[in-house]
Amino acid sequence: MTMMKVVQSWDDGVVDDVQLTELLRRYRASATFNLNPGLHQPQRSFSWKYGDKEIWRLGQSETAAIYAGFEIANHSLTHPNLLDLSPMELERQVGESRRILQDWFQQPVSGFCYPFGSFDSAAKEVVRAAGHVYARTVQYCDSVFPPVDPFEFGVSCWFADPAFWTLYERAKTTNGVFFFWGHSYELVNDAMWADLENKIAGISADPAAEWASLEGLFAG
């Protein structure tokens, strides 16, 4: 029986990731976390408000423990819109960020996630030249893997998409990879957390599905 591979990708390195990583470990679920090392202070720091909710970034001192066992990907140094940058600053935002993350986590960082989902041909080339093997977008694709262009790697859906399970079942019949993404700060109440846990538990219990890492997909 062919197993569908399931991958998930979460952005921005916020305090809600503590609860999220605990949830994922409970069900032995793989995930990729996309981080901006230039925005992490030594200790937790207030970042912005999402509606009425205060969003705090994790302290750099706790990131290694919180993300232990998960894939780390590059989300740029400080989360700018890459289309607004000079060529020199674009290279710094991409390359320096990758070097810092590899130093922090002592593991390869082969993936990139475009801040705000924005990119162009120049950004793609800088990401490739910096040593990444893929770059994630937020574009929905019916068939996510293998991508036509690994530096325009699309997704199946957002984690809270009402059509999540429909798209999940469809992926079983098409290309065999289901890829969802999100930000843990978007989980604003107990009902949303319960819904996510139901999804993670359901995927983990599905004999026709297996969790995979994005790095693993590209490693073959």
Burial, 8: exposed, middle or buried (Cβ in 10 Å; 0-12, 13-18, 19+)? buried
Give me 8's structure tokens.
């998930």
Phi and psi for 181 in degrees, rounded to 5? -145, 170
| Segment 133-170, tens digit of pLDDT | 999 999 999 889 999 999 999 999 999 999 999 999 99
Give me 195's structure tokens.
């819904």
Average confidence score pLDDT of the chain: 95
pLDDT reading at 1 higher than 60: no
**Backbone dihedral region of 69: left (phi > 0), alpha (psi from -120 to 50 degrees) or beta?**
left
Percent of the chain at pLDDT above 70?
99
**Residue 41 CB contacts under 8 Å (≥ 6 apart), including other chains:** 57, 59, 60
Handedness of CA 91, 96, 99, 100 (dihedral sign): negative
> How many CA atoms are closer than 13 Å to the CA of 216, on its beta-carbon side?
14
Higher pLDDT, 164 or 172: 164
DSSP code string of 54-89: EEEEPPHHHHHHHTTTSEEEE--SS---GGGS-HHH
| Domains (range + CATH), the chain | 4-219 (3.20.20.370)
| Segment 194-208, tens digit of pLDDT | 999 999 999 999 999
**Backbone dihedral region of 6: left (phi > 0), alpha (psi from -120 to 50 degrees) or beta?**
beta
| Segment 121-141, tens digit of pLDDT | 999 999 999 999 999 999 999
Beta-strand runs (E) in 18-152: 32-35, 45-50, 53-57, 71-74, 111-113, 134-140
| Tokens 């290309």 -> residue | 175
| Segment 64-83, tens digit of pLDDT | 999 999 999 999 999 999 99
Please give the distance of CA 188 from its chain centroid, rounded to a whole number.
19
Collapsed DSSP state (helix, strand, coil) of residue 90:
helix
Beta-bridged to residue 57, according to DSSP, are 14, 45
